[in-house]
Structure 1
Amino acid sequence: MFDTVLVANRGEIAVRVIRTLRALGVRSVAVFSDADADARHVREADTAVRLGPAPSAESYLAVDRILDAARRSGAQAVHPGYGFLAENAGFARACADAGLAFIGPSAEAIALMGDKIRAKETVRAAGVPVVPGSSGSALDDSALTAAAHAIGMPVLLKPSAGGGGKGMRLVRDADTLGDEIAAARREARASFGDDTLLVERWIERPRHIEIQVLADAHGGVVHLGERECSLQRRHQKVIEEAPSVLLDPATRAAMGEAAVQAARSCGYRGAGTVEFIVPGADPSRFSFMEMNTRLQVEHPVTELAVSVAGRPGIDLVEWQLRIAAGEPLPFGQDDIALTGHAVEARICAETVSVKEGARGFLPSGGTVLLLREPDGDGVRTDSGLSAGTEVGSLYDPMLSKVIAYGPDRPTALRQLRAALSDTVTLGVPTNAGFLRRLLAHPAVVAGELDTGLVEREADGLVPREVPEEVYEAAAAVRLAALAPAPRADGWSDPFDAPTGWRLGGTPAPVAFPLRVPGLDPVTHVPRGTATVTADRVTVTLDGVRHTFDRAADWLGRDGDSWQVRDHDPVAASLTGGAGAGAGSLTAPMPGTVTVVKVAVGDQVTAGQSLLVVEAMKMEHVVSAPHAGTVTELDVRPGTTVAMDQVLAVVEPATAPDTGGGNGGDKDGSGGGTGAEGVS
């Protein structure tokens, strides 16, 4: 076993790997960018080395800096985690050239399986069924278009070098194929440095099922059963579980054997995942999609649901290390069994627009003001967070994972819903509440899953208004702040009490102008009773008691959170906030403008794409809210923007007659960004 291992990653996966290194008595080395100088993975490692500035190209993707950090820290091996350089064959080769063990497969296996086109050809030759699609490498736009027409709509565009759903585009309309190819290439180039694409037949209502494999350097290969990963949004997994309710023992064995053959076909070594697309109506007709040559985000569900030689659980990171150190697998396929059930939820920095529902999912950021993560019997949290963590737009939006295990699926689902209710991350909006509601959806409870279910049902899982008790709790906090401080003699001045008392009249109601970002302001008059402490608010409204966690102007409950600010209408109008004109297009999240398609003076149509903003490896289109003329354009490609920053102004083509005065006001409907996530 190695003495010292450098973890070439950040966040929750770095913390996860460090945990196993500590358990094995192996010294851990963290690396960090300037943005992560005080991050949790840095504090938990035995030592840490600065890589460089915050942009990943100058830190976590800088191979020479990582190798120098390994040399200076005395590391003998490098664990790449996932993302960043984890599936970079050049990095694996550079580690070997530097005399470092790369804790993963060979550079040749990474290169082969990382090229989806070559991977499909290789596993097909090994007898593994594959999804029908284009053939050949480096297809230009016209070849991709021709292949798409030959296959027939709908089709799926996929980056050959990528994974994790980045750059994938489902195209149903042939007229949009050109734009979708351009967007997919742009995102693939930004995410992987390679814009090569392939096109595949889209299978309606498919299920996404993957098989975990372990392979040593001595010819031993086993699979550890399957994970169901069909609950996805924008091709990104959000919930994963093991085992799948879809597979019977015969299909499980057939898919497992296909995964083993795929691993053998590329001379695989270490932990890897073979992903299959599976028709829900006939699971026996599964097809190979790709092989991920790294640890998966969802590996904990396998760790909890597998038993080896009668012993419950397995540590996949430990076996990555042992295999990289040359140890053979001491168990065979007959020693592997699935016991119980495990389900995982990915907690991401996301905000959901109450007005736009499911269309309003956007990356978010902020400072973690109050953090409470669940643990205990049957519950595990893998997290890179700590109180005070700054979540920015430079890196992936996933913050943590909450995993529940039980003797059966209903128990695991119930435990995970309860754990998500106990998840508190105030200061940074997350998707925890959305995932809790998703896990209670009847189709999910019944196991009737497919990769389109979340998109179809998301609108019903997003509350379309802020509950009144949220404003009541926010007002209670402000009312408590107005109360006079108690005096030593016990006397209090009645004129200091915020009662609304006035001479010779009925007390005026105490009212607070409040605003949740993205929504219209409200003026709330408290009408219930409340108890306010430093980190909690309890309000009783219409006989019902509601309890919230609180930090600064944030409130949280059952995984949901709201930032409720004081509203100043004069200040808002002066700064372009609430009350800004309908033609003002503002940034939907902090990020970088990557594409500008218009100029001042251009005539645009309603819904026309004007700008593209990228944040957390995702692109978001900002479109025209109405037909009109671009009168202001305040950004260019490469401009870094803050949330709600004005990007451009589109003056309406006409001002509708409101029937009074000197022609009436401009229509204020349809304002905002028109932003839609397209990743």
Structure 2
Amino acid sequence: MKPFETVLVANRGEIACRIIRTLRAMGIRSVAVYSDADRDALHVSLADAAVRLGPAAPQASYLNIDAILAAAAATGADAVHPGYGFLSENEAFARASAAAGLVFVGPGLTALAVMGDKIRGKNHVADSGVPVIPGFSRPGQSDAQLVTAAETVGYPLLIKPSAGGGGKGMLRVDSAGELAAALVTARRVALGAFGDDTLLLERFIDRPRHIEVQVLADATGAVIHLGERECSLQRRHQKVIEEAPSPLLDPATRARIGEAACRAAQSVGYTGAGTVEFLVSDAAPDEFFFMEMNTRLQVEHPVTELVTGLDLVEWQLRIAAGEPLPLTQDEVVLTGHAIEARVYAENPARGFLPSQGTVLSLSEPAGAGIRVDSSLRSGLPISGVYDPMLAKVIAWGADRAEALARLDRALADTVVLGVHTNLEFLRLLLRNPDVLAGRLDTGLIERSLPGLGLRGMPGQPLPDHLPVAAALFLHAQATARASAHTSGATGPGLWAQPSGWRLGPDRPVRYSLRVSATETVDVAVLAGPDGLRVAVDDRMPVPARLAPVTDHSGTFACELDGRLEVLQLVADGPRLWLGQNGFSADLVHRSRAEQLADRLAGLDRAGGEAGAARPEVRSPMPGTVVAVHLATGDLIVAGQRILTVEAMKMEHHLVAETDGRLSVSVRPGDLVRLDQIVATVTEASTPATPVKGDPT
């Protein structure tokens, strides 16, 4: 029987799409909600009905409790599913839903109140006999009190927002001198993301493993666990790749950590699906410490579903309707291995900063053991308002090796052009020897980054066939335009063709392509009796050819000096997006006016040496200016922080590259573009010293 007739999904993106699919499979009518930025989003088109909440800003839409409850009333919803993030762990939302006659698909108010506050939750489970990490967790502490408490916690330590999760606002501090500035940043992020700037401190455990346990509990008091997930592969405290089960734990430890998780859930009368997170020592895997309990569905829940065969969203709904658990602990069986990779809108070549754009070309993988939870579609704009996660690619295998191989192939088959993603990074990470061997910890990614060989990074130039393919595509377009313009009774005019032919030695047609804010690649194309030849950055010309693969729109075969490469290519004005085996790059065709302006700017730049410090301060990502730390006219030194830009819930600090006098061209609240000049530093007649009180 259907537990509900109509369920409103109070979320967006891939999790809203995933919940709606289960509702459809159960025969339950679904209601989506959306902001102005999501009017054309996939979750809106998948639902049976959709209601506008308000403007793009989360506070005016997905965090607006009154608007969500009004949408539920207008559509006759029986229940509301909060997904994860936004209001999923918000006690006030659960209370307001109940008052409006809606079933909140989540735990009861006691669990939300206790576990939704990290300080209270940690103290509570410690009283229940669950081991916890040493730290300082008291509500209402000022920055000065936290600085004093940090001396007893010891360094390195972690600052964590009490009211949130997902790594947002979490900062590592290695010394007392860093703490004051880190507390300011952590409070600002916590207040913006969760509406609560309460912080706690925890001892940082070197090379820990992040292992979490999925629990299910019903209204009768029965609690079971569904095994653990290994979530140690993280960047900036944000999970990147997760798997189930963990390659670390043996059956005895799995039973002990599962029992501890169930004990934590029982202590608050938990109902529904929840996750208890632990830090486990890699050197001593039988020793684990409680971190927090997430009173909601987790992003990585699909790996548990694949190894247990259970639909966790279905059982969230059934438990919320009063049904008992579908099985006992003894009946839980883990079959095979599952691994999930999160696809983010971020640019690895720019330090993994958030990326924005429009999805111009999309292809998602399929096949045996492959699952994709996604909100992507062609033409979808990716803004900087919400979280940068776009999709999750999940693979199941009979064992870990098969799951890894299937996931790598699935990522290679994933094409997202029009916005930068971390796809190639994910593939390279899966091939890391420590990852293959299951030797994981939360610092592994940061240690491994320099040796991964990401293309487009400094010191990792693009393979020649990518700019060559772009140049040949542009050349074919120019040839077609010239033919259309000059065709007539006498046919195309020889002089209008971009062949390079003239009286005397042939002259190549040159295409200047911007690879990054500071790098360009020049490709010369020369037509001859045997076809086209190309020279990259004035190297020896070699034969080249670009031909479309007719079976796949936007797919081309580029033959360069006898070597064939198949890639995807799509044009967006002067910008060309190229993708191959998970890697993508955008190259901008520079006009003659742009090339001249760049040459003149190079002549005007002081010193003129290659690699010299630049007076311009450019935004490394599109976003919003959240703080300006200095003012026009201030004398500053190289490395001093000027302003902070935020996008997709991530802050980035912009600093001066050189000493001098500052001129700032933006204010807090301003929207900035990628590579926009936000400040300049000019030579000063007096030596610069840091402005008092400025964080550096």
Partner deviation per Cα, 1:504-540 (whole Å, 9 max, x = no partner): x121122211112334222112243223335122212
Q: Is the 8 A contact 2:170 2:186 kept in 1?
A: yes
Question: Is the counterpart of residue 447 in structure 1 residue 412 in structure 2?
Answer: no
| Distance apart, 1:577 and its partner CA | 12
Specify which of 369, 372, 382 is matched with residue 363 of structure 2: 372
Which range is displaced more, 595-604 or 646-655? 646-655
Where 1:483 maps in the other structure, the secondary structure is helix
1:646 and 1:390 map into 2 onto residues whose CA distance is: 24
Q: Is the 8 A contact 1:368 1:388 kept in 2?
A: yes
Q: Is the 8 A contact 1:528 1:539 kept in 2?
A: no
2:165 and 2:155 map into 1 onto residues whose CA distance is: 22
Query: What is the correspondence of 1:121-132 to structure 2 with a 5 Å cutoff?
Result: 121-132=123-134
Question: Is the counterpart of residue 567 in structure 1 residue 590 in structure 2?
Answer: yes
Question: Is the counterpart of residue 438 in structure 1 residue 438 in structure 2?
Answer: no
1:659 corresponds to which residue? none
Task: From the superposition, tell whether residues 147 and 555 of structure 1 become closer, same or farther in structure 2 (CA, over 3 Å).
Answer: same
Task: From the superposition, tell whether residues 56 and 508 of structure 1 become closer, same or farther in structure 2 (CA, over 3 Å).
Answer: same
Partner deviation per Cα, 1:26-54 (whole Å, 9 max, x = no partner): 00000001111111000000010011111
2:92 and 2:656 map into 1 onto residues whose CA distance is: 42
1:82 and 1:394 map into 2 onto residues whose CA distance is: 17
1:555 corresponds to which residue? 578
Which range is displaced more, 65-74 or 578-587? 578-587
Query: What is the correspondence of 1:57-206 to structure 2 with a 5 Å cutoff?
Result: 57-206=59-208
Which range is displaced more, 412-421 or 541-550? 541-550
2:633 corresponds to which residue? 601
2:668 and 2:546 map into 1 onto residues whose CA distance is: 50
2:652 corresponds to which residue? 620
1:638 and 1:140 map into 2 onto residues whose CA distance is: 27
Q: Is the 8 A contact 1:480 1:532 kept in 2?
A: no
Q: Is the 8 A contact 1:231 1:240 kept in 2?
A: yes
Where 2:466 maps in the other structure, the secondary structure is helix
Question: Is the counterpart of residue 254 in structure 1 residue 256 in structure 2?
Answer: yes
Task: From the superposition, tell whether residues 522 and 2 of structure 1 become closer, same or farther in structure 2 (CA, over 3 Å).
Answer: same
1:25 corresponds to which residue? 27
Amino acid at match of 1:513: S
Question: Is the counterpart of residue 335 in structure 1 residue 331 in structure 2?
Answer: yes
Query: What is the correspondence of 1:352-431 to structure 2 with a 5 Å cutoff?
Result: 352-353=348-349, 360-431=351-422
Partner deviation per Cα, 1:292-322 (whole Å, 9 max, x = no partner): 000000000000012xxxxxx1100000000
Where 2:67 maps in the other structure, the secondary structure is helix
1:271 and 1:652 map into 2 onto residues whose CA distance is: 60
Task: From the superposition, tell whether residues 578 and 314 of structure 1 become closer, same or farther in structure 2 (CA, over 3 Å).
Answer: farther
TM-score, structure 1 as length reference? 0.92
Query: What is the correspondence of 1:459-470 to structure 2 with a 5 Å cutoff?
Result: 459-461=450-452, 462-463=454-455, 464-470=460-466
2:5 corresponds to which residue? 3
Query: What is the correspondence of 1:224-235 to structure 2 with a 5 Å cutoff?
Result: 224-235=226-237
Question: Is the counterpart of residue 510 in structure 1 residue 509 in structure 2?
Answer: yes
Where 1:208 maps in the other structure, the secondary structure is strand
Question: Is the counterpart of residue 610 in structure 1 residue 606 in structure 2?
Answer: no
2:11 and 2:556 map into 1 onto residues whose CA distance is: 38
Task: From the superposition, tell whether residues 623 and 106 of structure 1 become closer, same or farther in structure 2 (CA, over 3 Å).
Answer: same
2:315 corresponds to which residue? 319
1:592 and 1:330 map into 2 onto residues whose CA distance is: 47
| Distance apart, 1:126 and its partner CA | 1.1
| Distance apart, 1:140 and its partner CA | 1.2
Question: Is the counterpart of residue 528 in structure 1 residue 539 in structure 2?
Answer: no
Partner deviation per Cα, 1:314-358 (whole Å, 9 max, x = no partner): 1000000000011001310000011101000000100122xx6xx
2:264 and 2:29 map into 1 onto residues whose CA distance is: 34
Q: Is the 8 A contact 1:521 1:567 kept in 2?
A: no
1:541 corresponds to which residue? 560
Unaligned runs of 5+ in 1: 307-312, 656-677
1:202 and 1:217 map into 2 onto residues whose CA distance is: 37
2:468 and 2:109 map into 1 onto residues whose CA distance is: 58
1:303 and 1:67 map into 2 onto residues whose CA distance is: 30
2:609 corresponds to which residue? none
1:490 and 1:157 map into 2 onto residues whose CA distance is: 76
1:491 and 1:649 map into 2 onto residues whose CA distance is: 54
Query: What is the correspondence of 1:182-331 to structure 2 with a 5 Å cutoff?
Result: 182-306=184-308, 313-331=309-327
Q: Is the 8 A contact 1:569 1:578 kept in 2?
A: no
Amino acid at match of 1:437: L
Partner deviation per Cα, 1:201-223 (whole Å, 9 max, x = no partner): 10000000000000011111100
2:147 and 2:644 map into 1 onto residues whose CA distance is: 23
| Distance apart, 1:373 and its partner CA | 0.7
2:499 corresponds to which residue? 499
Q: Is the 8 A contact 1:476 1:532 kept in 2?
A: no
Q: Is the 8 A contact 2:517 2:675 kept in 1?
A: no
Specify which of 659, 669, 673 is matched with residue 638 of structure 1: 669
| Distance apart, 1:653 and its partner CA | 5.1
Partner deviation per Cα, 1:533-560 (whole Å, 9 max, x = no partner): 3512221223221111011111111111
| Distance apart, 1:250 and its partner CA | 0.6
Question: Is the counterpart of residue 477 in structure 1 residue 468 in structure 2?
Answer: no
1:341 and 1:578 map into 2 onto residues whose CA distance is: 56
Partner deviation per Cα, 1:118-144 (whole Å, 9 max, x = no partner): 101111111110001014212111221
Partner deviation per Cα, 1:80-102 (whole Å, 9 max, x = no partner): 00111111111011100100000
Amino acid at match of 1:453: L
Amino acid at match of 2:314: E
Cα RMSD for the two superposed structures = 2.0
Q: Is the 8 A contact 1:520 1:578 kept in 2?
A: no
Where 1:338 maps in the other structure, the secondary structure is coil
1:636 and 1:69 map into 2 onto residues whose CA distance is: 36
2:229 and 2:600 map into 1 onto residues whose CA distance is: 45
Query: What is the correspondence of 1:20-59 to structure 2 with a 5 Å cutoff?
Result: 20-59=22-61
1:179 and 1:169 map into 2 onto residues whose CA distance is: 11
2:160 and 2:563 map into 1 onto residues whose CA distance is: 50
Q: Is the 8 A contact 1:536 1:547 kept in 2?
A: yes
Which range is displaced more, 285-294 or 564-573? 564-573
Same amino acid, percent of matched pairs: 56
Q: Is the 8 A contact 2:544 2:561 kept in 1?
A: no
Residue-pair matches, total: 644
Which range is displaced more, 44-53 or 574-583? 574-583
1:456 corresponds to which residue? 447
1:488 and 1:122 map into 2 onto residues whose CA distance is: 84
2:57 and 2:297 map into 1 onto residues whose CA distance is: 24
1:407 and 1:330 map into 2 onto residues whose CA distance is: 24
Q: Is the 8 A contact 2:512 2:589 kept in 1?
A: yes
Amino acid at match of 1:232: Q
| Distance apart, 1:364 and its partner CA | 0.5
1:671 corresponds to which residue? none
